[in-house]
Copies of this chain bind each other. A is one copy, B any other.
Amino acid sequence: VIERASEPPSGEDRLIARYFRPLATHPGARGLIDDAATFTPPAGADLVLTTDALVGGVHFFVDDPPDTIAKKALRVNLSDLAAKGSAPAGFLLSLALPEAIGEEWLEAFAGGLGADAHAYGCALLGGDTVRTTGPVTISITAFGTLPHGRMVGRSGAGAGDLVVVTGTIGDAALGLLVRRDSGKAERWQLNHRQRDHLIERYLLPQPRNAIAQALQQHASAAMDVSDGLVGDLRKLCAASDVAADIDVVRVPLSDAARTALASDPALVEAALTGGDDYEVVATVPAPAIAALKAQARAAGVALSEIGVVRADRPQANFIDQAGKPLLFKRPSFSHF
């Protein structure tokens, strides 16, 4: 007799059993002890599939709280599911860990992940945990469901549609600047609450899954704003072969962002082109705007009308109060 179930399991098995098995509450996850998970799609449903990776030192600070790192990794994927009009169903986690990561970090990470999996109704179905000589790397593939053929793409915007955006824009980009240089909070004349708001918005996106169904019913096109409103709206316009005219003054800003921009008006570029908003920008046929607004209000999601779609060559024009288009050095965030 060589192999006994009572033998100590491998380090990876032990790690999964201790930290991630408690999250695998969906029967299809099979307690994370099989090679794969099963998922039975609702009859007549399409799946919406997305994957996003976060790398330590690139997409988050390695000393960020592990529970917020986990939540951010899941939420950036949930944000895509929301923008496409789908309801979250489940996710798979691929986690590359350097040796320096200890049990305490893992416990907090798994705790944050489990809390959000529960809060958003998106079950952990499987995963892989591997060693890396590099930074912590978290790759999540999430999937959602919606009625067949109803995914909200980027390509459906039509002339006359109104452009809307959820929440507020620019907070995370400004929060990142404050994280990198804490003196900025003072120079921008932010109070503590305002400073904390911006930093918090960088740490922890607020994906708009609460209005996914309303978007699916009413939006002609939508995408999540992850690489800056200017560049992302340009992508939507390119996919739809339309132009959008945006009134910069109508772009929703938080009280903190307004204060910062009042101190330094040039920050408008960081706010409109920085990444990590994880809001939704959508186009909506004019007759549907009232219904979408009412549903957003009922769901507790702020929704602002910021412009209109025109038949023209693809472009996104951000027009200031003087009627002049803003010019940006770098319209979209990219690590490449």
Which residues of chain A have a CB within 8 Å of any CB of chain B? 1-5, 7, 10-15, 30, 33-41, 43, 45-55, 57-59, 80-81, 83-84, 86, 90, 92-94, 96, 98, 125-135, 137, 139, 141, 148, 151, 153-155, 223-224, 227, 230-231, 233-235, 237-239, 313-318, 325-328, 331-336
Contacts and interface: CB of A to CB of B under 8 A. Distances in A.
Nearest to A90: B49
Contacts of A93: 51
Given A2-B318, A131-B58, A334-B13, A84 B137 contact: no
A325 B317 CA distance: 75
Given A3-B237, A11-B334, 18 more contacts: A2-B230, A2-B315, A2-B318, A2-B331, A3-B231, A4-B314, A10-B333, A12-B335, A35-B80, A36-B151, A38-B47, A41-B45, A51-B93, A59-B130, A92-B141, A94-B141, A134-B134, A134-B135
A93 B141 CA distance: 9
B1 A317 contact: yes
Given A33-B239, A230-B3, A131 B94 contact: no
A43 to B, nearest CB: 7
B49 A92 contact: yes
Nearest to A134: B134
A317 B3 CA distance: 7
Nearest to A131: B335
Contacts of A57: 133
Given A38-B48, A58-B133, A10 B332 contact: yes
Contacts of A10: 227, 231, 332-334, 336
B36 A40 contact: no
Contacts of A7: 234, 331
Contact of A55 (B51, B52, B132, B239): B132
Contacts of A334: 10-13
A18 B332 CA distance: 19
B36 A80 contact: yes
Contacts of A126: 49-51
18 contacts: A2-B318, A2-B327, A3-B234, A3-B317, A5-B234, A11-B335, A35-B84, A36-B50, A37-B48, A38-B46, A38-B47, A40-B46, A49-B90, A51-B94, A55-B96, A55-B131, A98-B134, A141-B141
Given A7-B331, A83-B35, A151-B36, A2 B326 contact: yes
Given A10-B336, A12-B335, A58-B131, A237 B5 contact: yes
A150 to B, nearest CB: 9
A227 to B, nearest CB: 8
A49 B39 contact: yes
A140 to B, nearest CB: 8
Contact of A133 (B37, B134, B153, B224): B134
A239 B34 contact: yes
